[in-house]
Amino acid sequence: MATRPAAGIGRLPSPLAVGVVVWLASELMFFAGLFAAYFTLRAGTDGPWPPEGVELETGRTALATVLLVASSVTFHYAVGGIARGDRRLGGRWLALTVFLGAAFLTNQAVEYGEATFSLGSHAYGSIFYLMTGFHGLHVLGGLAFMGFALAMVSGPAAKAPPGQTMEVCAYYWHFVDAVWVAMFTVIYVLR
């Protein structure tokens, strides 16, 4: 008598999931290039790094980082709710994830507005704004993707199966969060 494989075992990944993972690998290389540029500029700069006059809001940005990491947890619960067929619960967790991501971006906008330096001030300013700006664009893209997923879960298109969309959106969001943790550590903690 043949037995069925356990859930997930023997299941092939969807082409969409494979495509997103390959795309995220290319994004990883892009961010690795930004980190390489940061360390190259830092190594080649005479004087202090960051330069005199650069004040970063490390405490507030640490709190925003905690919110972003928490958004990965809430997204995990959203995916779990959808996987169990509870669109309402999944939608609530996803809405909370969007709120946390938006709070993170709000902190970034406030920090840019209060910054004592600009993109053209010095090499540090250039790499700071390039790294954090590109990451911010990725967060914004993730929020747009989650808005689409939220519409699939609770909007007029709620009859569409959201599982695969939620799964690949979660891959992207967790990637964005992991990149930020590395970026926060390098820019705000190690300096």
> How confident is the model over 59-106, as pLDDT tens digits?
999 999 999 999 999 999 999 998 888 888 999 999 999 999 999 999
Sorted by where each begins, the domain ranges of the chain are 15-42+56-190
pLDDT of residue 135: 97
Q: Which residues contact 58 (CB under 8 A, 6 or more apart)?
A: 188, 189
Q: Dihedrals φ, ψ of 45, to 5°? A: -95, 125
pLDDT of residue 3: 52
CATH homologous superfamily of domain 15-42+56-190? Cytochrome c oxidase, subunit III, four-helix bundle (1.20.120.80)
Residue 151 near residue 95, CB atoms below 8 Å: no
pLDDT of residue 7: 54
List of the chain residues with pLDDT < 50 = none
- Joined tokens for residue 110: 């406030």
Which tens digits make up the pLDDT trace of 97-109?
999 999 999 999 9
pLDDT of residue 12: 78
pLDDT of residue 6: 54
Indicate the average pLDDT of the chain.
90
Residue 149 near residue 166, CB atoms below 8 Å: yes
C-alpha angle 139-144-145 in degrees, rounded to nearest 5: 95
- Joined tokens for residue 75: 């997204």
pTM of the model: 0.87
Tally helices (H) and strands (E) across the chain.
5, 0
Residue 135 near residue 141, CB atoms below 8 Å: no
pLDDT of residue 166: 86
What is the spatial distance between Cα 18 and Cα 187, in angstroms, rounded to a whole number? 32
